[in-house]
Amino acid sequence: MSRRQALKAAAGGMALSAAAIGGARAQDAQQADPTAPTEEESAMAGGGEDILPFAPGWRRTVVGDVALVTVLDGIRPGEGPHPTFGEDQSAESVAELMRANLLPPNRFANFFNPVIVEAGEERILVDTGFGPAGLDNGQGLLANRMAGAGFAPEDITIVALTHFHGDHINGLMTTEGQPAFPNARVVAGQAEWDFWTSDAAKNGPAAGNAKAVEAMVVPLRERITFLTDGDEIVSGMVARAAFGHTPGMLAFELGEGENRVLMAADTFSHFVISFQRPDWHVRFDMDKQAAAETRRRLAAMLASERMAVMGYHLPFPAIGFVEAVGDAFRYVPASYQFAVEEG
């Protein structure tokens, strides 16, 4: 089955024969590591839903003193990218840009990539995916794939939230309404909290999301430290304002010198459009103008400083670099930059 066929099959809700593949993998994993989930546990947690070629759905990248473990919560293939991306453009001009980049004109795949940052003794989970409610749709695989990568929920010491959209916060709670990461404190943006807990949000067009915040984030209030631009989360990890997509979205800047990474959250949600056409409107950007300004500002910074970028919705494992091209940019997925020492 080709990659494209696999994504199409998944889009149609057709179970891939990956149930068998996933089962075999679970058995192998169990022989190697008796604490790995059994075939049955994997199936229950949606572990049989691996969409090749992204299996096993986690990837560890070492950048200087930190390790970044991307854990793919799931993929959502579907129609698009127009009108989600380029909402203010014609369908044809978006299709044309896709063809020019060797992508299908009318189909795309959205990725959901929480990341575990290993920094000293801290295990910082950045965003939490769809949670158990996502399993029916082939998402919500974070917990299962974390286990595959060797992490128990108890190992997470800090959960850092970039913003409060459902695909980032719904993994905070178990189906029983308990904290999914029982030993973790939480860090989140002050402006994001202020907006989503306001009457304006609860009664506005995003009221549904405000309800999710009420269910997932508000119960954790006592554990939350609120952040503003420039605040340090742990030594070497700093919050940066990236407002626009939501009123209080934060990016997280990590590392120092040559080894810096900007975790840009949903600033760049399509690896072609967000960089090559940063001004095009994105349906999910709550303030389209501010989001475009943030995109340009951060892309210019990333390009001039040759800093690595991670993006929650970029293709797994969601790490790369940004090149300035004319008045816009280009995303360069990481290849072996982090696997070799510079001479």
Asked if residue 275 lies in contact with residue 329, where contact means CB atoms within 8 angstroms, the answer is yes
Residues 226 and 245: their CA atoms lie apart, in Å, by: 19
Residues 147 and 259: their CA atoms lie apart, in Å, by: 28
Q: How far is the CB of 127 from Zn ion (least distance, A)?
A: 8
Q: How far is the CB of 91 from Zn ion (least distance, A)?
A: 23
Residues at the interface with Zn ion (CB under 5 A): 165, 167, 266
Beta strands in the chain (DSSP E): 58-63, 66-71, 74-79, 107-112, 115-119, 122-126, 158-160, 185-189, 224-227, 232-234, 237-241, 250-256, 259-263, 308-310, 319-325, 328-333
- By C-beta, is 25 or 270 nearer to Zn ion? 270
For tokens 């506005």, name the residue.
204
Q: How far is the CB of 110 from Zn ion (least distance, A)?
A: 8
- By C-beta, is 76 or 165 nearer to Zn ion? 165
- By C-beta, is 49 or 266 nearer to Zn ion? 266
- Which two structure tokens, joined as six digits, stand for 131? 């949670």
- By C-beta, is 165 or 260 nearer to Zn ion? 165
- By C-beta, is 16 or 314 nearer to Zn ion? 314
Q: CA quadruple 236, 246, 127, 332: dihedral positive or negative?
A: negative
Q: How far is the CB of 183 from Zn ion (least distance, A)?
A: 25
DSSP string, 119-184: ETTEEEEE--TT-GGGGGGT---HHHHHHHTT--GGG--EEE-S---HHHHTTSB-TTSSBSSTT-
CA distances from 214 to 75, 83, 135, 153, 182 (A): 26, 29, 21, 22, 19
Q: How far is the CB of 89 from Zn ion (least distance, A)?
A: 21
- By C-beta, is 167 or 285 nearer to Zn ion? 167
Q: How far is the CB of 168 from Zn ion (least distance, A)?
A: 6
For tokens 């409107």, name the residue.
281
Q: How far is the CB of 269 from Zn ion (least distance, A)?
A: 7
- By C-beta, is 147 or 172 nearer to Zn ion? 172
